Homo-oligomer: A and B are copies of this chain.
Amino acid sequence: MTHYRTLIDGHIAAWVNALPKGGLYAPMAYLMDLPAKRVRPALVILGCELFGGRAENVLDEALGIELFHNFTLMHDDIMDAAPLRRGKPTVHEKWNVNTAILSGDALLVKAYQLMAKRADVARIFSKHALEVCEGQQLDMDFEQRSDVTTVDYTEMIRLKTAVLLACSLRVGAAIAGANTEDSDRIGAFGEHTGLAFQLRDDLLDAFGDTAKTGKQQGGDLRAGKKTFLLIHGLELSAANKRNELHEELAKPVDERDVPRMLLALEELGVHKEAERAIQAEDRKAAEALEAIGVPEDRKAPLLALSAQLMARSY
């Protein structure tokens, strides 16, 4: 992965250095300079190489996807009133909301400058970009709703997180000339991998080792955030006539007994259900990748990346 990382980081650094100074460009440079895993650009390259294309031919699109991802972060942070992003002040905190809106808009245009060099790539990108917006809308809607099911939740994270991984792979595949069936397969691999990743993220928040995750254990639970765990926990509480979760959620946020909530989730079997759901997504991802008729050794980097995403311990 070090080879891809060097290529991607070099391309990003060159782009940041070429930006005009100040104005609406300064927040773009700030956000793009924060440390990040660059998973999406790597997927563009891996999607391309899987079908025999060359990494050098998709570097612009790899960068474009990362610009789009950062555009969503800049605007989502406004909507979520988030003070920090990767440990640093968010753009709307460091500058102001108007600058974050406008710089984000310009960043989306900059993303399109790279994603619309080919009409077929632009088409794939726009379709998924719209789904990402729909996912963010659902996420905001859920905060006001009390009837969200795990099915609703899964659809939300599919749109908000998983489809952009699928998009990255599809764009790489399109540039390498993959056919429609293979494009759908690599898209399915990305989507299921993304779902497994997000579900694992939810699980780590609750049951992860604070020393390893770097986050307060059960932060989402304390905040009453409707993740898979809490939604399914509430569903099973109703079926099993248990009240711990409802009781804790009725308290003010800082009086909630997180260990009691975690125990209830374990006893209700939510922890195991989440593990099963993750494994099911992982299996679907693996099946989609298996169905692609290219030499097996070309699949190795994708399997390594997905294993790396999954291996985060707790």
Which residues does A use to contact B, with CB under 8 Å?
A: 23-24, 71, 75, 78-79, 98-99, 101-102, 104-106, 108-110, 112-113, 115-119, 122-123, 126, 129-130, 133-134, 136-137, 140-141
Contacts and interface: CB of A to CB of B under 8 A. Distances in A.
Contacts of A130: 106, 109-110, 113
Given A23-B137, A75-B101, A78-B101, A116 B126 contact: yes
Contacts of A119: 116-119
A102 B133 contact: yes
B133 A106 contact: yes
Given A105-B108, A108-B105, A140-B98, A122 B116 contact: yes
A79 B98 contact: yes
A105 B135 CA distance: 13
Contacts of A110: 130
Given A24-B133, A98-B140, A126 B105 contact: no
B24 A134 contact: yes
A109 B75 CA distance: 14
7 contacts: A79-B98, A79-B102, A102-B137, A105-B105, A116-B119, A116-B122, A119-B119
A118 to B, nearest CB: 6
A96 to B, nearest CB: 9
A136 B98 CA distance: 10
B75 A134 contact: no
A105 B101 CA distance: 10
A99 to B, nearest CB: 8
A76 to B, nearest CB: 9
